[in-house]
Homo-oligomer: A and B are copies of this chain.
Amino acid sequence: MSRFAISGVFSAAATPVNADLSPDHARFAAHCKRLLSEGCHGVALLGTTGEANSFSLTERKEILEKVIAAGVDPTALMPGTGVAAIPESIELTRHALSLGVNKIVLLPPFYYKGVSDDGLFDAYSRILEGIADDRLKVVLYHIPQMSGIALSVELVGRLVEAYPTTVVGIKESKGDFANMHALVKAYPGFAVFPGADPLMLPLLKEGGAGCITATSNLIADSLRTVFDGHADAAKAAEVETAQARIEAWRALSNSYAQIPTIKAMIGLKHGEDGWQRTRPPLVGLSDAQIAELQPQFQTLP
């Protein structure tokens, strides 16, 4: 049994949309099932890669409802429910709990910048006390390059101390390995998840809990191989091969803006139309860009 409340490989699932940019619920449910069958422990839907903040509250609720109605176990889902306004973060989380979800990824309010740790602590406290549900496990979300809000190691400690059975982990999407390492060392049993696939392996060796990543939309099996085998000397070669594959796919996903490229690559991998579409302000890859990507895509391990 893991020493973490949450651990494993979680895919920051991309959200396919129809031509009118409404969520393509059927395709999304099929994608979530595929991710779980490929080895993901769970699906971290409605995050940054999932373009959650480009969907309305109503659409976010519907996305979650439909994927559960399609047969995905709600305890295998870890939706993002953090928005700019505290009452709505509470509303989205309570809605998720009502569907059987028991873990979420929680952005801090992200409109105001330069806010203090006291202000962020107060914001998180009001959200958690507004939810007021002991079943809930929360993964904090550190992605300052998008949210504009950095969660300091000290702030994380204050939240862990105040809500020890609820605040159980953090997604570190800045990609700052020293910060991940500091969090692992500071709070034993607290689950630190890199947001960058290649960093799962080195962090597992230091006491990391798994990953919540975008490239797992494409190669969840390799991430699972690394997760399962990282501490087993007999599997070193297998892990090394998987890690090399992760690095190659991740590198190609950075050819253009990452989220549109991940979506285009899902379409290429599975021969599915429509994945090229994104909601503005993101711009989907053009046909010319996809044509340019394709030869490199074919040579991926």
Given A56-B85, A84-B53, A148-B148, also A281-B91 (CB < 8 A): no
Interface 1/0 per residue, A88-119 and B, CB below 8 Å:
10010000000000000000111111111011
Partner of A59 from the list B87, B123, B280 (CB cut-off 8 Å) is B87
Report the Cα distance A126→B59, complex, angstroms: 17
Report the Cα distance A100→B213, complex, angstroms: 46
Least distance between A145 CB and chain B CB atoms (Å): 6
Residues from chain B with Cβ under 8 Å of A88 in the complex: 56-57
Contact B115 A282 (CB under 8 A): yes
Residues from chain B with Cβ under 8 Å of A116 in the complex: 281, 283
Least distance between A55 CB and chain B CB atoms (Å): 6
Report the Cα distance A127→B5, complex, angstroms: 42
Contact B53 A280 (CB under 8 A): no
Given A113-B145, A113-B146, also A280-B84 (CB < 8 A): no
Residues from chain B with Cβ under 8 Å of A85 in the complex: 53-56, 59
Interface 1/0 per residue, A34-60 and B, CB below 8 Å:
000000000000001000011111110
Q: Give the size category of A's interface with B.
A: 35 or more
Which residue in chain B gives the minimum CB-CB distance to A279?
B86
Partner of A84 from the list B84, B87, B148, B283 (CB cut-off 8 Å) is B84
Contact B55 A109 (CB under 8 A): no
Residues from chain B with Cβ under 8 Å of A120 in the complex: 280-281
Which residue in chain B gives the minimum CB-CB distance to A116?
B283
Contact A87 B56 (CB under 8 A): yes
Residues from chain B with Cβ under 8 Å of A86 in the complex: 54, 279-280
Contact A112 B282 (CB under 8 A): yes
- A196 on the B face (CB < 8 A): no
A sample of 5 inter-chain contacts (CB < 8 A) reads A53-B85, A53-B109, A54-B111, A54-B112, A58-B87
Q: Which 10 A-B pairs have the closest CB atoms?
A: A53-B111, A123-B280, A119-B281, A115-B281, A122-B280, A56-B87, A53-B84, A119-B283, A123-B281, A56-B88
Other contacts beyond A53-B85, A116-B281: 5, CB < 8 A:
A54-B85, A56-B88, A109-B280, A119-B280, A149-B281
